[in-house]
Amino acid sequence: MQMRAMVLEEFGGTLKLHSRQVPEPAPAEVLVQVVACGAGLTLESIRLGHLGGSTPRIMGHEYAGTVAALGAGVEGWQIGDAVTGSFYLFCGSCTMCASGREMLCSNNKGNIGARIDGAFAEYVVVPARNLVRIPTGVALREAGIIADAVATPYHIARERARIVAGQRVAVIGAGGGVGLHMLQVAKAFGAFVIAVERDAAKLVRLREMQLDALVDASVENWQADLVAAAEGQLDTCIDFVGTPLTTSTGLAALGRGGTFVIVGTLPGLRSDKNAVISAAPMYLINKELTIMGTRYATRAEIAHSLQLVRDGKVKPMIGASFPLAQAEDALEAIRRNQVFGRVLIDCTV
Ligand SMILES: [Zn+2]
């Protein structure tokens, strides 16, 4: 049986529509019929070859669908089960995996959609151990943007920054597809949430969301506005942009005992050796500050993110939906920073 798939023929190229044989699951693998697949800047890094893997490659890492076939030896799943999953190819047996930190797997083989074929297709084969069940009450379409865009913020809130009710939390790059969900997750944890954004169109949309506070990062000295918005006590600053300006400003705006969390950096800065985070030792010491990195989420955190959505605490924000064959247009919209909300690829049309 044939399927439609969007293929990256070589790194740096564009996605092309191909007809491919529907893959067969090997032992310990599962074939998933894809309904929806989220898209964000991670894909741009994969497209440029920054996250490893090889070409030709079907991209797409954040998927939701139903189980269509089981490889030999797979237990616990049935045909028709609604599933999403982790896009990391973790081993499941190293010390990090055993301690529930599979995003730090010592034997990580890379990402679905980079190292192995992904979900910009009508079907995808994934390791059975990667799957997470989608609970009743969460639409498959919405589930297509939860496994990364909601789960990554959830991991930050629960495991890294450990946000507690009443804290002042700022999100730099709040208008991005993941930042918008970080705002909601931080709110669900009870924080006073400050959105920081510099794009004029996104600022207009953020204003409509009735957030606790909004800082326009296009103005000079927005650090003072950020400090004022937090009433001098910014507890946590979460940076999705990762430029020298955002990291230095966010760090300088922290209050006593504050935490700076770096989530991402623009694709062009990934290999820029000058893009460092720096702070004077006495500044960190006197305020007892913490600087931390964070990466992705565990399957348990994906499951909890799905529950948050089902319980109405977080609303998946799909900013634009593209048919599978127009996935390249979706990537172009992401590159141009044109979409307010996560981009969704509808793999059923
Ligand atoms: Zn491992």
Residue found by looking up tokens 């705006």 in the block = 253
Read off the tokens for 39.
């898209």
CA–centroid distance, residue 305 to ligand 1 (Å): 22
CA–centroid distance, residue 309 to ligand 1 (Å): 28
User: Which domains can be identified in the chain, with CATH numbers?
Assistant: 2-148+297-346 (3.90.180.10), 151-293 (3.40.50.720)
CA–centroid distance, residue 303 to ligand 1 (Å): 19
CA–centroid distance, residue 101 to ligand 1 (Å): 8
CA–centroid distance, residue 115 to ligand 1 (Å): 16
CA–centroid distance, residue 85 to ligand 1 (Å): 16
Distance CA 111, CA 121 (A): 16
CA–centroid distance, residue 159 to ligand 1 (Å): 19
Give yes or no for a cis peptide into 244 (omega within 30° of 0). Answer: no
Q: What is the pLDDT of residue 347?
A: 97
CA–centroid distance, residue 260 to ligand 1 (Å): 27
CA–centroid distance, residue 113 to ligand 1 (Å): 19
CA–centroid distance, residue 203 to ligand 1 (Å): 41
Read off the tokens for 154.
């959830």
CA–centroid distance, residue 105 to ligand 1 (Å): 4
Side chain identity, residue 53: G
Q: What is the pLDDT of residue 41?
A: 87
Q: What is the pLDDT of residue 178?
A: 96
Tens-place pLDDT, residues 220-257: 999 999 999 999 999 999 999 999 999 999 999 999 99
CA–centroid distance, residue 100 to ligand 1 (Å): 9
Q: What is the pLDDT of residue 10?
A: 96
CB within 8 Å of 273: residues ≥ 6 apart:
none
CA–centroid distance, residue 88 to ligand 1 (Å): 10
Counted residue by residue, the chain has a size of: 349
Positions of the chain with pLDDT under 50: none
Q: What is the pLDDT of residue 339?
A: 95
CB within 8 Å of 41: residues ≥ 6 apart:
176, 177, 264, 266, 267, 334
Q: What is the pLDDT of residue 313?
A: 96
Give yes or no for a cis peptide into 135 (omega within 30° of 0). Answer: no
CA–centroid distance, residue 89 to ligand 1 (Å): 9
CA–centroid distance, residue 238 to ligand 1 (Å): 27
CA–centroid distance, residue 95 to ligand 1 (Å): 7
CA–centroid distance, residue 296 to ligand 1 (Å): 15
DSSP for 114-144 reads: TTB--SSBSEEEEEGGGEEEPPTTS-HHHHT
CA–centroid distance, residue 61 to ligand 1 (Å): 19
CA–centroid distance, residue 233 to ligand 1 (Å): 38
> What predicted TM-score, i.e. pTM, was given to this entire model?
0.96
Q: What is the pLDDT of residue 4?
A: 98
CA–centroid distance, residue 129 to ligand 1 (Å): 12
Distance CA 275, CA 256 (A): 25
86 and 96 Cβ atoms separated by less than 8 Å: no
Task: Please classify residue 285 by burial: count the beta carbons closer than 10 Å to its beta carbon, then call 0-12 exposed, 13-18 middle and 19+ buried.
Answer: exposed
CA–centroid distance, residue 180 to ligand 1 (Å): 30
CA–centroid distance, residue 94 to ligand 1 (Å): 4
Q: What is the pLDDT of residue 327?
A: 97
Distance CA 92, CA 237 (A): 32
CA–centroid distance, residue 97 to ligand 1 (Å): 4
CA–centroid distance, residue 348 to ligand 1 (Å): 33
